Amino acid sequence: MNIKQNHSLKKYNTFNIEAKADYFVELSSEADVFSLINSDILKNNEILIIGGGCNILFVNDFKGLVVKVANKGIEKIKEDKENVYLRVAAGEDWDSFVKYCVNNNYYGAENLSLIPGCVGSCVVQNIGAYGVELKNVFYELTAYDIFSGDKTVFDKQKCEFGYRKSIFKNKTFSKYLIFSVVFKLSKKQNFVLDYGNIKQEIEKLSGSKLNVKILRDVVCKIRNSKLPDITQIGSAGSFFKNPFVSFDKFFEIKKKYPEIVAYKIKDNLYKLSAAWMVDKCGWKGKRFGDAGVYEKQALVIVNYGNATGKEIYNLSKEIQKSVFEKFNIQLQPEVIII
Ligand code: EPU
């Protein structure tokens, strides 16, 4: 384990923001975790645990120790007639894992193709796309309490998964270091095809033929057509969460804007499309220096090159303000702001 000082975080956040950490360490093994737990630098500093840095905006330098989890490996630990259980290192790239599942005909993760990030941080975030959330394929995880050194297994219930959140995102942020995650994949296909234009895209790509590889290709195609390639343009995907409102609130907006994009969740609960609201406020494609709103998806804020964290943050505040003024809705960031 090699703790570096005054280290640039630019390579470690997909917004490509230049920020510095007082201390920075990458962990690749259990031995590294134990060395860290026993180190004085850990005891005397604030800690931030990161994975792929795909959902973080650094507005300031980090006055403390940034811990990047970088362990690797996928291992089959159990199998029965219906399911296969895979233990995956938290530092493994999420999409490489999805690809592995698809290539082996293990079903359940395919709709989550091409989401940037590491396995551990995807759990923190309970990532979701095209009608599927990570919790649907989650079985259990092993984490270390970095302050006490205790090793704990969290089952699905203990993780308290919700829309884009888990116990690790809110209550215990950077207390637990997620080391490995066990996923339960199905050996039988049971595709989720109801979201948006998935069915039409399958039809276009392959006619009536459908298998897990085709579904992955379709999901990748849709994502590539709407979301920026983070190797070319800095971003953290959706910047805001879709807000949940009561029927009355939904109806009040619908009266004024009959075209509102919203989804009924249950009787008195509606999910509103934040992208639609931001779009309606005229932000799509707007650019201020190197900070901008992506031209194909209004929920995505981008760094075209050398935007600072503050510039991205200020733009997000302006967007929040205009959505509040127009719809009386307070958008909440999905991205973690440091
Ligand atoms: N829309 C607009 N303007 C836009 C974009 C979208 O009006 O600029 C409307 C369209 O009517 C569209 C609807 O909003 O049909 C929904 O858009 P989209 O399918 O792109 O989904 P989203 O709700 O904006 C969520 C996730 C994405 C995920 C997609 C697909 C959140 C915060 N975002 O976006 O996740 O890929 O659904 O399932 O829930 C991410 O979390 O980083 C992310 C990209």
Catalytic residue among 164, 166, 216, 316: 164
Domain boundary among 69, 88, 106: 69
The reported pTM is 0.95
Is residue 313 within 8 Å of 323, Cβ to Cβ?
Answer: no
The residue whose C-alpha atom lies closest to atom 23 belonging to ligand 1 is 273
Q: Residues 117, 182: one domain? A: yes
Among protein residues, the one whose CA lies closest to atom 17 of ligand 1: 275
CA distance 90 to 74: 10
Number of the ligand 1 atom closest to the C-alpha atom of 125: 41
**pLDDT of res. 308:** 98
- Which of 105, 78, 322 is CA-nearest to residue 215? 105
SS3 of the chain: helix, strand, coil, percent, to 5: 30, 30, 40
Q: Are residues 103 and 172 in the same domain?
A: yes
Supply the CATH number for residue 176's domain: 3.30.465.10
Distance 238 CA to ligand 1 centre (A): 8
Structural domain boundaries enclosing 17: 4-69
Residues 24 and 36: their CA atoms lie apart, in Å, by: 11
Q: Atom 40 of ligand 1 has which residue's CA nearest to it?
A: 238
Residue 325 and residue 74: Cα distance in Å, rounded? 48
Measured over the CA atoms of residue 337, residue 233, residue 117 and residue 65, the dihedral's sign is negative
Cα gap 226→249, rounded to integer Å: 29
Does residue 86's CB lie within 6 angstroms of at least one atom of ligand 1? no
Asked, for residue 31, whether it belongs to a domain, the answer is yes
Could you read off the pLDDT tens digit of each residue along the chain, which spans 338 residues? 899 999 999 999 999 999 999 999 999 999 999 999 999 999 999 999 999 999 999 999 999 999 999 999 999 999 999 999 999 999 999 999 999 999 999 999 999 999 999 999 999 999 999 999 999 999 999 999 998 999 999 999 999 999 999 999 977 778 999 999 999 999 999 999 999 899 999 999 888 789 999 999 999 999 999 999 999 999 999 999 999 999 999 999 999 999 999 999 999 999 999 999 999 999 999 999 999 999 999 999 999 999 999 999 999 999 999 999 999 999 999 999 99
86 and 155 both lie in a single domain:
yes
Sheet hosting strand 47-50, strand order edge to edge: 4-8, 20-27, 62-69, 47-50
- Both structure tokens of 168: 């690790």
Ligand 1 mutation pick, 222, 238, 279, 283, max ligand atoms within 8 A of CB: 238
* Index of the ligand 1 atom closest to the CA of residue 334: 32
In the reported structure, the alpha carbon of residue 275 is separated from the centroid of ligand 1 by a whole-number distance in angstroms of 6
Decide whether any atom of ligand 1 lies within 6 Å of the 241 Cβ: yes
For residue 299, the CA-to-ligand 1 centroid distance in Å is 7
Any domain includes 299: yes
Residue 205 lies in a domain: no
Query: Is the domain of 310 the same as that of 240?
Result: yes
- 238 is a catalytic site residue: yes
Out of 110, 201, 311, 334, which one is annotated catalytic?
334
Within a domain: residue 224? no
Residue 14 lies in a domain: yes
| Residue whose CA is at the smallest distance from ligand 1 atom 37 | 129
Residue 314 included in any domain: yes
How far, in Å, are 133, 172, 217 from residue 160 at the CA level? 13, 11, 31
On whether residue 212 sits in a domain, the answer given is no
Q: How far is the CA of 105 from the centre of ligand 1 (A)?
A: 28
Q: Are residues 95 and 175 in the same domain?
A: yes
Q: Does residue 164 carry a catalytic annotation?
A: yes
CATH number, domain at 40? Answer: 3.30.43.10
One domain, residues 64 and 89: no
User: Residue 316's domain is classified under what CATH number?
Assistant: 3.90.78.10
Overall number of domains in the chain: 3
Helix 212-226, helix 94-103: angle, nearest 10: 150
Q: Which amino acid is residue 306, in one-letter code?
A: N
The domain boundary, picked from 186, 220, 246, lies at 186
d(CA 297, CA 283): 10
Co-location of 320 and 242 in the same domain: yes
**Residue 227 placed within a domain:** no
3-state secondary structure of 65: strand
Last residue of a domain, one of 49, 69, 89: 69
Separation of alpha carbons 287 and 290, rounded Å: 7
Q: Is 216 part of the annotated catalytic residue set? A: no
- Domain match, 287 and 319 both: yes
Q: For residues 119 and 121, give the distance between their C-alpha atoms in angstroms, rounded to a whole number.
A: 6
180 in the same domain as 79? yes
For residues 24 and 81, membership in a common domain is answered with no
CA 188 – CA 94 distance, rounded (Å): 22
**Nearest residue CA, atom 6 of ligand 1?**
275
124 and 91 belong to one structural domain: yes
What is the chain's Cα-based Rg?
Answer: 20
